[in-house]
């Protein structure tokens, strides 16, 4: 992965987004973004309005932890052909199957009653997490296998465009519809977001770089299907250092965002204000950030664009502390959300491109599930067990200054990985073309 500074215009940065692979990534992202919104900010707002305690609300992030467990069954998406449905293709059949699971799980959560059946609501949220995680496993594999190595950055950007539109669209629809017709109708209205991925699969067909699974006839071959993806990853040079970066790079961001809706509720922001500033301004700032991220990726290469994004995401947490100190301020909320989402948009291009390039095409679903799950597991564990209690003990200002500090170790580790050459040596076959002479980030 040669890091060179390129003389390209902003149009050169935009044009690759319009190629077939990145456009496919966009439609997949539309569907990927919605399930997590149903158990994320939307559920937080729902529970806060029902009067539940902060520590109870943050405990619902255990539903997110299901996403971190997806490596346990991701191998099945690579290795098991679904009966009957599998005739239309390995990836497409799993897209349809997982989409149906998501619709059923969201409908189940729609009719849960947190105030009278808290346990049932927790189970319903976990089921949405399981269905959404399975959907993500298939979508990520389908996206990576449709993208050529030089498209990974632009495909990641388009995927994040779609993800944010789907996530924000679902969150906004749920808020607005719930304010008028109740939360059950709000949730059900969002189920249509599964359609873009399913339609894409049916129209486009199997990914161009997909490798058909080996038929499993014995116990040994089945055990290899489960363990093989992990064994291949950990045989690589510096595998545990790479995993350490994956684990810690997003801790501050995860902690900061999961508590945000609690803070906005305590500062007196209404549903409409949240929809306009947190959702609306954040949406456009994120899209701008993704576009800028594409330009940085094209001009500076993978390593430098990742470093810039990690630095910006770290200091963006400080803006939450400033908002907490300022109190109810629409301008303050707009500025805070704008900066944070702009930084996240830049990061979503380069960091996701690097993670995608780490995969071996023989185990795309399983390895990306491992990487994406590890990327947020530490922050989610801390959020579920301590975030609400820390806010209640120290307040929002001190909490957010703390998330700013713990975001910097990931930046420093990636800087060392870049200087030592480990980033270059860690790329898998998904980031190398068929002849092995071009790697992710080498070409714009």
What string of pLDDT tens digits covers the 444 residues of the chain?
444 444 555 566 567 778 888 999 999 999 998 898 888 777 777 777 766 666 666 666 666 778 888 888 998 888 888 988 888 988 999 999 999 999 999 999 888 877 777 778 888 888 998 999 999 999 999 999 988 888 888 888 889 889 888 888 888 888 888 888 888 888 898 888 999 999 999 999 998 777 766 555 556 666 777 777 888 888 888 889 999 999 888 887 877 777 777 788 778 787 777 777 776 788 888 888 988 887 788 778 888 999 999 999 888 888 888 888 888 877 888 888 889 889 988 888 888 889 998 988 888 888 999 888 888 777 666 665 566 667 777 778 888 888 888 888 889 999 999 889 898 888 888 878 654 444 554 433
Measured in residues, the chain has a length of 444
What whole-number distance in Å separates Cα of residue 189 and Cα of residue 106? 10
pLDDT computed for residue 10 by the predictor? 57
What whole-number distance in Å separates Cα of residue 92 and Cα of residue 315? 40
pLDDT computed for residue 58 by the predictor? 60
The pTM score is 0.79
What whole-number distance in Å separates Cα of residue 267 and Cα of residue 259? 13
Other beta carbons less than 10 A from residue 172's beta carbon = 20
Find out whether 350 and 306 touch, Cβ atoms under 8 Å. Answer: yes
CA angle 332, 163, 284 (to 5 degrees): 35
pLDDT computed for residue 438 by the predictor? 46
What whole-number distance in Å separates Cα of residue 38 and Cα of residue 101? 14
Tell me the chain's radius of gyration from C-alpha atoms: 21
Question: Which region, left, alpha or beta, applies to residue 325 given φ > 0 means left and ψ of -120 to 50 means alpha?
Answer: alpha
């Amino acid at each position: 992965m040669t890091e060179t500074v390129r003389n390209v215009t902003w149009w050169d940065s935009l044009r690759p987004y319009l190629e077939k692979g990145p456009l496919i990534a966009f439609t997949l992202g539309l569907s990927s973004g919605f399930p997590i919104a149903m158990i994320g900010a939307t559920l937080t707002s729902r529970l806060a309005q029902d009067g539940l305690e902060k520590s109870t609300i943050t405990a619902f992030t255990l539903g997110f932890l299901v996403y971190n467990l997806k490596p346990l069954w991701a191998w099945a998406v690579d290795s098991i052909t679904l009966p009957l449905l599998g005739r239309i293709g390995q990836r497409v059949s799993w897209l349809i199957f997982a989409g149906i699971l998501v619709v059923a799980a969201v409908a189940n959560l729609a009719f849960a009653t947190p105030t009278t059946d808290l346990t049932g609501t927790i189970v319903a949220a976990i089921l949405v997490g399981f269905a959404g995680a399975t959907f993500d496993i298939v979508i990520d594999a389908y996206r990576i296998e449709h993208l050529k190595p030089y498209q990974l950055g632009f495909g990641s950007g388009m995927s994040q465009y779609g993800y944010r539109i789907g996530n924000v669209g679902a969150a906004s629809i749920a808020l607005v519809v719930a304010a008028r017709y109740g939360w059950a109708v709000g949730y059900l209205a969002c189920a249509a977001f599964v359609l873009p991925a399913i339609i894409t699969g049916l129209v486009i067909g199997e990914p161009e770089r997909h490798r058909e699974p080996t038929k499993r006839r014995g116990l040994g071959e089945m055990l290899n299907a489960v363990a093989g993806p992990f064994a291949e990853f950990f045989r690589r040079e510096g595998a545990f250092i790479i995993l350490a970066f994956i684990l810690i790079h997003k801790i501050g961001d995860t902690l900061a965002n999961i508590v945000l809706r609690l803070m906005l509720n305590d500062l007196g922001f209404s549903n409409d204000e949240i929809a306009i500033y947190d959702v609306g301004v954040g949406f456009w700032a994120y899209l701008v950030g993704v576009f800028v991220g594409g330009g940085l990726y094209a001009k500076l290469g993978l390593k430098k664009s990742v470093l810039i994004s990690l630095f910006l995401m770290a200091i963006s947490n400080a803006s939450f502390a400033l908002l907490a100190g300022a109190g109810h301020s629409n301008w303050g909320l707009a500025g805070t959300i704008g900066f944070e989402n702009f930084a996240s948009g830049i990061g979503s291009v380069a960091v996701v491109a690097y993670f995608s390039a780490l995969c071996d095409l023989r185990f795309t679903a399983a390895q990306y599930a491992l990487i994406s799950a590890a990327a947020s597991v530490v922050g989610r564990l801390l959020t579920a067990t301590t975030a609400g209690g820390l806010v209640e003990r120290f307040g929002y200002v001190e909490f957010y200054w703390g998330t700013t500090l713990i975001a910097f170790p990931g930046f420093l580790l990636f800087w060392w990985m870049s200087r030592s050459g480990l980033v270059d040596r860690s790329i898998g076959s998904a980031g190398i073309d068929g002849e092995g002479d071009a790697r992710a980030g080498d070409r714009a």
